[in-house]
Structure 1
């Protein structure tokens, strides 16, 4: 497919998520030209097929000019549901550059009758809950957010991260470096082995890390769930098939 100037449409996919990788693979297979962009915050990330750029754009202005200079026909923001800065920046940059934008955002988790969730608006509120309730905590909010819990001295933390945290750490902790997906049996064993009585997580959604919630429900463990940030009002879909259909309508 080509535009009126005879150029092949070029699609920018933002994000190092599984959805971003799946969309890049699907589009590449059908002959669509794709550039994937990763923030570069994870060492040795899983790379999508096709061209990849790693690193920031220089804020809204830098991203806007990059879209124009690279003749991007459409952007799919498939970043993590908590990547609020880039999601806000790309909404402004795409609008200013006149480039169509789609948000590919997986559905959030929702509690069942067996879940013991407390939903909080942000990480600071999660830390307040831990101060009041936690003794042995599994913390799965990511390495960049560990510092929020650094001042809590009367709880022990099992901090699960892909890469080592760079922020200050709680006084009593153990670092567990691992990368999902995780299965139910392993998560159940982990919670039992470390005698976890409180789980702290962001509402990332998806299946790769949901097993910890199922295991916590089985053991009757309380869960502090950080709600997603409010996002810009742009067209959005919840799966790769929806993104493909949107691009098909856009590009013809």
Structure 2
């Protein structure tokens, strides 16, 4: 079992990497922040290769392809997890924030898959991390929601295009998950606390999910759901289904 996890140095991505290692697999993870890269190296140990790589950089994406070839050769599962999220209203969203959001969440994801496709093995899998916010109109999430909706569209097209190679393509759609950043890029401690409280109030199960719960769903789609493709699996405590809380 050989896997690549983009955005794998913390939160959901780190939990996925640990889940791969727990199955005695090999994993290569990427992250942009050098401090998180070093921390992940220590935490994951010698069976993981941790690479500093910016998901929005075409040069870094190309370099990732070369490293995958050197370190893994083939890839059984690609987890496209790297992402950024800014909680800003439509009127507050600047061109810089819009560009960074789409460069990481959409363009970076698209070209990461394109670069690594030659390394994906027949009967392999791609799992995208999208979001419960990719539909339904969550206030303050305009750029983020749009970028993740585009990602889900990519996943469905890829699922069709990769059928001849028997590569399955699916997505997990997390809701409010208890990660260090609470899913917000550059937010203050107070902003994260308020976001967390709001999440517990609106989620029907009245709690946050854990990174491990999302990782479990992603691992199912990658390795166990062998007759499943073009599926988006919510991991959101019922939030996206609008069930009674």
Q: Same fold (TM over 0.5)?
A: no
Quick check: which has more Rg, 1 or 2?
1
Structure that is richer in helix per residue: 2
**What is the TM-score of this pair, normalised by structure 2?**
0.44
**What is the TM-score of this pair, normalised by structure 1?**
0.43
